[in-house]
Every structure is written in C-alpha cells, then in structure tokens.
Chain A
Amino acid sequence: MTTVIQAKNLDLTYQTNDGPVDALKGVDLDINKGDFVSFIGPSGCGKTTFLRAIADLEQPTGGTLTVNGMTPEQARQSRAYGYVFQAAGLYPWRTIGGNIRLPLEIMGYPKSDMAKRVEEVLELVHLDGFEKKFPWQLSGGMQQRASIARALAFDADILLMDEPFGALDEIVRDHLNEQLLELWARTNKTIGFVTHSIPEAVYLSTKIVVMSPRPGRITDVIESPLPRERPLDIRDTPEFLEIAHRVREGLREGHAYDD
C-alpha cells in the first residue's frame, strides 16, 4: 500500500482579531492509495480546514504535510486532485458539458480528447444526455453530480469532497452515496470526504477520521471492517451499527473534553 497523503504533527493556527485560533493541532494521519476516508466532527473541528490544507487552499503553520510525496503546493500545481465544494459552483453561462470542459481547457487538454472525457464522466455520474443543458435546467442533486463529474474529468488520482451532499435531502443523498461508491470502485481514486452525517461516513468509508474542536484534532481513526461492495441495506447490519456507535462515542468524547 502506498501512502498518498501523509500528515505529521500538523498544526494550523489562524490569526484573528480575538487572538490565535487553533484550527488544527498535532494532526497525524496517513491516507493510502484507494482509500475512502471520511472526516467527521462537529463544526469548528477543522475537518474542512484539513481538506483545504491538503488542497493547498490553507497554509499549515507547523508539522509536515505531503501529497503524492510532494508539498501540497507542488501537488496542486501538478493537478493531483479534484475538489468538490459544498455548492455545485457551476458557471451559469456554460452548459453542463461546458462546465466539465472548464478544467480541461485550463489544463490545456487537446480538443479532440475533451469530447470523449466529457462523455465518459457524464456517464459515470449518470448524466448522459445532459451535456447541452444549462445548470438551471437541472435539479440540485443533478448539479452536484455534474460538479463531481467536473472534478473527475482530468487525470487526478485524488478526489477531495467537502460536504458535497450537505445541502441535499436525505433521499437524494442516499442515492448519490450509492452512486459515489460505484464511481469510486470504477475509478479507483483515493477519496477524502468531509461530512457531518454519521451514517454517510460509515456507509462510504474504508477509514473514518473522527475529529473534535478547540483545538481541532483527531480523536479516533476507525478502519472499517465492512466489505468494499456495500448495498444500501448494509446499514441495518450489526457491523454497521457497531461502527456507527464507535463514531458516536468518539464524537461524544471530543465534546466531553470541551466541557
């Protein structure tokens, strides 16, 4: 197993008007190739900050962080990851196809290659036939799928997702979770996934990172014993409930520390 993302004693402190805030404190974590890692914790626990640090959108103030053996900045410049934000962030003036072509145009992919890639990723997220539609013609869930397709269109082995389904309703969410697992199995990407839903984290992940706030740190790392093939009803099995219980315990512990 190769380690793709490695954090050692990582600190990240923001300077604010009310003094320094420790967003991350002494974070150690290894993420292996092909892992599906979820970060879960209450708001302010630094889960999003950690993901953004991996993406070189935040600068750590201490410790080391490597992505594919490089600094996050080098990794970003070599286009090592695709990033999916909480909102779909599709450009209203571009069609779905045009939105997916956006990173490809920026990265200088040849025109002949683009059409093929757009078609491929649209098929991956089950949006075949929507290439010529504008974002406003799609539902929220479809827009988020298009945004995932966009992050998959270029050759990055890592997919970072910051609460991508946070704004969607439960039913759509279940559906997208199922599709995401299928997509992960087909593409063999390493996925970092921020969420605050326990069932979502347990259902999706091979590794669950439980975090707690003030200062943001890791309280538990759970290697999931669940098989990689996961039908939706796996959520009713005792193994699933046991992991969910452990996550809940981890979250509670983090809070007790606070009081």
Chain B
Amino acid sequence: MKSIIPVLTVVAAIFALWYAFAVVLNAGWAYSKAERAGVDLSFTEMVKDTMKQEKPRLPAPHQVGVEIWKTTAEKKVTSKRSLIYHGWITLQATALGFAFGVGLGILLAVCIVYFKVIDMSVMPWIIASQTVPILAIAPMIVVVLAAMQVNDIVAKGVISMYLSFFPIVVGMVKGLRSPDTMLLDQMKTYSASSSQAFWKLRLPASTPYLFASLKVGVAASLIGAVVAELSLSQNGGLGARLLAGSYYGQTIQIWSALLAAATLAALMVFALSAIEKVTLKRMGMSQ
C-alpha cells in the first residue's frame, strides 16, 4: 500500500503536465477561431475550448480516453475502426517478428560464443545493422520481399525481427559467457563434451540474461511491426492507424493508436515478467 502514493503522484503529475501542454498548444487555434467570429475570449472560455477541439495540436487526455473507449468497447472487433482489430494485426506481426528475432538472436549468440571467427567477422555487422534507421530501411525490405512474393505478415515480421534480434544477441552472448573459468574447468575435469557443457551449464546459466533481453526485444519487435505497417498500411494495424491519422490531421486518432501500442507493449513485457518469475522460481534461481 505504501507504494500506491508515489505511483499515483507520478500519474497525476503526467496528467497535469499533459493538460497544461494541451492548453498552451491549442490556445492559438482557440483564439484565431474567436477572432474570425469576432468575439472576445476570456481565459476560462479559451481553456474550455482547448479541451474539445476536433483536430487539436495536442488532444487532452479525456479526448483520447473517449476515442479509445469508442474504438474499443463500442465497436465490433471486426470493424476496421476498432483499435482491437488493428491491435490484433500488429500483435500478430509482432509475435512473428519476435519469434524470428529470438531464434536468430540465440543462433547468432551461440555461434559468436563458440567461434571466435564469427565473433570477429559478424559482430561488427550486427552492431552496424542497428545504426541504420529502421524507418529508412523498412520500405526497401518491403519492396524486396514483395518482389520475392513473400506474404505481407512475414514481411512485417522480418522488419520486426530486424529490431528485436539485437538485444537478444547481446544478452545471450553475455549469458552464455557468464559461467566463470572455474565452472568451465570443472566441466573439463568431468571430461564433458562441449555440447554437454552447453546444455548443462552455459544455457541454463544464460536464462536470467535471456529474460532481460526478451523484455527489451519484445518492445523493439512492436516498434518494428508498427514501422512496417507504415509501409504496408493497406493491411491495417496500429501503424496504419497512425499513418491514416496523420494524413487527415486526426491527432486524437494518432494519440489513441499510440496509447494502444504502448499498452500492448506494456502487456507483453508484463507477460514476459510473469513467465520469467515462474521459470526462475521453478529453476530455483530466485529465492
């Protein structure tokens, strides 16, 4: 119960700041409307107006809240205006990309740990890959994969994988290398084969590192999927919602899509945390 007060304080501060910015940013439009109508606007009237504009620069939290309510609870999930419909599309691409990313990441990490040549030759490219802005490279990947007749969801998955494999590689390399010399020497005294050392020592030792990476990776996957949907907007998804919103200046729609994406990411990270807790507990690694 003690922690509830600081949590609520932070939430309250965020909302206060959000409302303050909404007033400041939307005031201009409120005044210019008043001027054209030839009326004088008092401060309270101005504030009232900034809270209910149709295309505000920054929608007020309650406007976004109402929009989210309308596009989730009040719409059928099959409707193209439903955030749940679009969220589901994004979730699928994210899950696929995350699965790709985890697979590729673990595979690369194992190769890097076991082959020095790969560590030296491939690692620089892996790092370089992450310095390329995903927004620039995503449309190119989409075009190339479309030319190869690859399914759209796979194309989105590939872009999502592009972002998510990196934290997995970094975390897993660290995790697989975490057993110290003594433990590796000990394996040698048992005359263990290197596959035995991998399955019995390195892999279980890397589990806590893997979970840390998974949590970063899943959030990155979602970003990848959303970015991919900007290029493949005909198929829907939260990214497509963002794009459509920005075409028509529907800031409320943009913000609700953003919040939906953030909620989705948070849910996935929470789910992974729960799995982590159970797994580590079962393994005896948490006390």
Residues of A participating in the B interface, judged by any CB pair closer than 8 Å: 55-57, 76-77, 79, 81-83, 85-87, 89, 91-95, 102-103, 105-107, 134, 136
Q: Is B131 located at the chain interface by the 8 A CB criterion?
A: no
Q: Is B192 located at the chain interface by the 8 A CB criterion?
A: yes
Q: What does DSSP make chain A's interface, helix, strand, loop or mixed?
A: loop
Contact: A77 with B191, CB < 8 Å?
Answer: yes
CB < 8 Å neighbour of B284 from A79, A85, A87, A95: A95
Contact: B189 with A55, CB < 8 Å?
Answer: yes
CB < 8 Å neighbour of A87 from B182, B191, B196: B182
Contact: B190 with A103, CB < 8 Å?
Answer: yes
Q: How far is the CB of A85 from chain B (nearest CB, A)?
A: 5
Beta-carbon nearest neighbor of B187 in chain A: A106
B196: A residues at CB distance < 8 A: 106
Beta-carbon nearest neighbor of B189 in chain A: A83
B192: A residues at CB distance < 8 A: 106
Using known A-B contacts A85-B182, A106-B196, A106-B200, determine if residue A92 contacts B285 with beta carbons closer than 8 Å: yes
A56: B residues at CB distance < 8 A: 188
Using known A-B contacts A87-B182, A93-B207, determine if residue A102 contacts B284 with beta carbons closer than 8 Å: no
Q: Is B140 located at the chain interface by the 8 A CB criterion?
A: no
**Once the chains are docked, how many angstroms separate the CA of A39 from the CA of B167?**
47
**Once the chains are docked, how many angstroms separate the CA of A4 from the CA of B17?**
79
Contact: A102 with B200, CB < 8 Å?
Answer: yes
**Once the chains are docked, how many angstroms separate the CA of A76 from the CA of B187?**
11
Using known A-B contacts A77-B191, A106-B192, determine if residue A93 contacts B186 with beta carbons closer than 8 Å: no
Beta-carbon nearest neighbor of A55 in chain B: B189
CB < 8 Å neighbour of A79 from B187, B191, B283: B191
Using known A-B contacts A91-B201, A93-B204, A93-B207, determine if residue A81 contacts B284 with beta carbons closer than 8 Å: no
Contact: A57 with B207, CB < 8 Å?
Answer: no
A134: B residues at CB distance < 8 A: 284
Q: How far is the CB of B137 from chain A (nearest CB, A)?
A: 39
9 sample A-B contacts, Cβ–Cβ < 8 Å, listed by A number = A56-B188, A77-B191, A79-B191, A83-B186, A85-B182, A89-B183, A89-B186, A93-B205, A106-B192
B186: A residues at CB distance < 8 A: 83, 85, 89
Q: How far is the CB of B175 from chain A (nearest CB, A)?
A: 13
Using known A-B contacts A77-B191, A79-B190, A106-B190, determine if residue A57 contacts B185 with beta carbons closer than 8 Å: yes
**Once the chains are docked, how many angstroms separate the CA of A197 from the CA of B200?**
35
**Once the chains are docked, how many angstroms separate the CA of A135 from the CA of B188?**
22
**Given A82-B189, A89-B182, A93-B207, 15 new contacts (CB under 8 A):** A76-B188, A79-B190, A81-B189, A83-B185, A86-B182, A89-B186, A92-B284, A93-B204, A93-B284, A102-B200, A106-B187, A106-B200, A107-B190, A134-B284, A136-B284
**Once the chains are docked, how many angstroms separate the CA of A91 from the CA of B201?**
8
**Once the chains are docked, how many angstroms separate the CA of A103 from the CA of B190?**
6
Q: How many residues of B contact A (CB 8 A)?
A: 20
Closest 5 CB pairs of A and B: A134-B284, A93-B283, A83-B189, A106-B192, A103-B190
Contact: A57 with B189, CB < 8 Å?
Answer: yes
Per the 8 Å Cβ criterion, residues 239-287 of B in contact with A are: 283-285, 287
Using known A-B contacts A77-B191, A79-B190, A93-B285, determine if residue A85 contacts B200 with beta carbons closer than 8 Å: no
A55: B residues at CB distance < 8 A: 189
B284: A residues at CB distance < 8 A: 92-95, 134, 136
**Once the chains are docked, how many angstroms separate the CA of A147 from the CA of B118?**
36
Beta-carbon nearest neighbor of B186 in chain A: A89
Q: How far is the CB of B193 from chain A (nearest CB, A)?
A: 8
Q: How far is the CB of B225 from chain A (nearest CB, A)?
A: 33
**Once the chains are docked, how many angstroms separate the CA of A95 from the CA of B185?**
21
**Once the chains are docked, how many angstroms separate the CA of A91 from the CA of B186?**
11
**Once the chains are docked, how many angstroms separate the CA of A102 from the CA of B284?**
16
Beta-carbon nearest neighbor of A79 in chain B: B191
**Once the chains are docked, how many angstroms separate the CA of A95 from the CA of B186?**
18
Beta-carbon nearest neighbor of A135 in chain B: B284
Beta-carbon nearest neighbor of B284 in chain A: A134
Q: How far is the CB of A106 from chain B (nearest CB, A)?
A: 5
A85: B residues at CB distance < 8 A: 182, 185-186
**Once the chains are docked, how many angstroms separate the CA of A81 from the CA of B204?**
26
A95: B residues at CB distance < 8 A: 284
CB < 8 Å neighbour of B287 from A91, A105, A136: A136
B207: A residues at CB distance < 8 A: 93
Q: How far is the CB of B278 from chain A (nearest CB, A)?
A: 14
A94: B residues at CB distance < 8 A: 284
**Once the chains are docked, how many angstroms separate the CA of A255 from the CA of B44?**
90
Using known A-B contacts A57-B185, A136-B287, determine if residue A91 contacts B204 with beta carbons closer than 8 Å: yes
B187: A residues at CB distance < 8 A: 106
